[in-house]
Amino acid sequence: MNHETRKPRAIAIAATRTRDAERARLRHVSIVCLYAASALAALAFGLLG
């Protein structure tokens, strides 16, 4: 692999890693939100009887 092909490949790999990290962060936030929503629902049902 020569210098001309190495740099675009490195940029593509870095972009893919950034995209994967962003997707993982969004997945984590959505899981936390679902957990919080279920906890609030359980609390509301518990208080309402």
CA–CA dist 14, 6 (Å, integer): 12
Residue 2 confidence class, pLDDT cut points 50, 70, 90: low
> Residue 4 has what pLDDT?
66
Structure tokens at 19: 């995209």
> Residue 10 has what pLDDT?
86
Number of H helices, E strands in the chain: 1, 0
Q: Which residues lie below 8 Å from residue 9, measured CB to CB, with a gap of 6+?
A: 1
40 against 5, higher pLDDT:
40
Q: Which residues lie below 8 Å from residue 1, measured CB to CB, with a gap of 6+?
A: 9
9 against 26, higher pLDDT:
26
CA–CA dist 28, 22 (Å, integer): 10
Q: What is the pLDDT of residues 15-49, one digit of tens each?
A: 999 999 999 999 999 999 999 999 999 999 999 87
> Residue 1 has what pLDDT?
61
